[in-house]
Each structure stands twice: as structure tokens, then as C-alpha cells.
Chains A and B, each alone.
Chain A
């Protein structure tokens, strides 16, 4: 699950590594696990109730998925993230937002096939490393299809 060298400069005899595209990931905790979403797909953070904004003000047509509840059956009290990818949208509740982490795409590893094939864990499409830890990338599109409205 580790990508190799990315090529070399044309015309030169010296091998060089191409810079791998870097994506900014929003890391958060949910279901006692470290997870992530691309920052570019997170359009809003709703800290209920501290923000004073009622969830009723948001679209009721979008999927609402509490990740703790989805995986463990226990509701979270953490913030809601609004995810958006083209016409797809969903609200995802997490336990705690951790940080924004720049991450080289080639450092990500696809999830094992046996995990991708399962219904619930199939919402994770890749994994990355943060220090000595591992985080899981969530695909909210699958999550919304599985657990949302």
C-alpha cells in the first residue's frame, strides 16, 4: 500500500521525485477513531448548541449522519460538518475536530478489499498516517446512501 517513485525529469539522467499533489484534510474523531475529509468538501461547521444556530435552519432534505451513532449506536454531542461534492450534500456529526493536515495523495493507501466489501466499513476508502497513528478517509457519499435520509 505504498506508492513508489513518481518518475524523472525528461532529458536528464538524474532521477527526481515528482511532487505529489497535496490535499488538505480535516481530521476529526468519531467512533473512537481518527477520520478525515478533504477540507475542500467541508462547507460549514455547526457547533450545536454553542453556535446558537438551530439545525432546523439547515436543509431538512439533506442526509444527517451521526458517525458515533452510525458505528456504535451512541449519539455524539460534537459538531456537525456540512459536506458538499457537486450536487451531493450531507451533514456529518463527529465527536471532535482535531486539525487540518496537509497530506500527499501518494501517501494514502487504499483500504483492504475485505474492509471495503463490508457495508458499514465500506464508507472508508483510504487510510493515511499522522505521526505514528493512522486515520481513515470517509466517503460521505456512501455514508449518506447507507445511513442518511
Chain B
């Protein structure tokens, strides 16, 4: 998953930049049917690598001002956030994938998920872009990946930002 030339929204970006990025996502989604057939995916960065989730599995992307760690919780749980009065469990997808765990900071970018009994989201480093992925172009995870890592993916797809790992939320979210 080599880092390419697409400029992500850096973690230190201001709220305006985040909102603009989300607006670009919406525009991109609106434009997708006219461009090509494909399933829209939100691409996001964890370090230099780009990962993707289908938009229909997402509720929103938000910058959260405060993420409260839970003392003694598993490393996979980054903490709890107050998202407009709703308490949401934020998962550290870095830790789940065996990457360097997320470093606590004053704010975080949260990708809120839909389809789970309890409110849950993923902490990510930065938003990359929206990509239309043709299901026929999804390849299986590389055979060189360890089995426990490969189990977290439904496949990979080539996008301008590099090789995007398509996460399997049923494997990622176990709360």
C-alpha cells in the first residue's frame, strides 16, 4: 500500500479543511453514478497506508474534540467519545490490524459506522478520498500477508493513493 500523490486531510488540519474534505466526498458520491459503475468506498489513511470501507457501512465522519481513554480497556478500544450527546465507542483500528497503536491526542478523526447494535466508530489518521470500486477489480489479500491480518480484509483494490485494503467490518468490530 504505497503512499501516492493524493493529499490526505492531515490530522492537524483545521475543522474547515475536514468539512471541505467531507463536502468533496459528498460531491464525489453524487458524481459516481455518472462516472462509472462501482461501489463507493471511503479511503482513509493509517500511517502511510490507505484503507477503505464501503460508504453504505458508514454513518458519518467527524472530528472529535475529546476522546476519553478507558483505563484497563483492551488496546483495540481507543476510548469513548461524545458525539452530539451520543456516547460512541471508538475502536483503534491500528491496534486491531497489528500496526503501531494510535497515539492519544487532543482530537481524532472518527469514522462512525452503521449497522451495529451499539454506536461504534473507527479512529483514523486522515481521510484520503472517495473511490468507486468495481467489485470485479477486488483482489484477495496478498498471500504474503499473515493470516490474522488477511482475515481482517475482504480484499484489496488499486486506487490512485496506492493499494487500498478493504476492511471486513465483521472481523474488525467485535464489541
Cβ contact within 8 Å between B68 and A133: yes
Query: Which residues of chain B from 47 to 72 have any CB-CB distance to chain A below 8 Å in the complex?
Result: 65-66, 68-72
* A109 at the B interface (CB under 8 A): yes
B174 near A121: Cβ-Cβ < 8 Å:
no
Give Cα A135–Cα B66 distance, bound, in whole angstroms: 12
- Interface size of B as a range: 20 to 34
Report yes or no: B81 in contact with A134, Cβ–Cβ below 8 A. Answer: yes
- Please pick, from A31, A115, A118, A129, the residue contacting B82 in the complex, using a CB distance under 8 A: A129
- Which residues of the other chain, A, contact B80 by a CB distance below 8 angstroms? 127, 134, 136
**A124/B70 in contact, CB under 8 A:** yes
Cα distance, A32 to B69, chains bound together (Å): 9
Q: List A contacts of B119 (CB < 8 A).
A: 1-2
Of all chain B residues, the one with the shortest Cβ separation from A71 is B71
| Chain A residues bordering chain B, tally (CB within 8 A) | 31
Near B by CB (< 8 A), chain A positions 98-115 give 107, 109, 111-115
B76: chain A residues at CB < 8 Å are 114
Does A141 sit at the interface, judged by CB under 8 A?
no
- Determine whether the beta carbon of A114 is less than 8 Å from that of B174: yes
Contacting B at CB under 8 A, from A1-56, are 1-2, 31-34
Say whether B74 contacts A115, CB under 8 Å.
Answer: yes
- Known: A129-B85, A129-B87, A132-B82. Is A112-B175 also a contact (CB below 8 A)? yes
Given A112-B89, A115-B89, A119-B72, 6 more pairs with CB closer than 8 A: A71-B71, A72-B71, A113-B175, A129-B85, A134-B66, A134-B81
Residues on A facing B (Cβ under 8 Å): 1-2, 31-34, 71-72, 107, 109, 111-115, 118-124, 127-129, 131-136
3 A-B pairs closest in CB distance: A120-B72, A121-B72, A71-B71
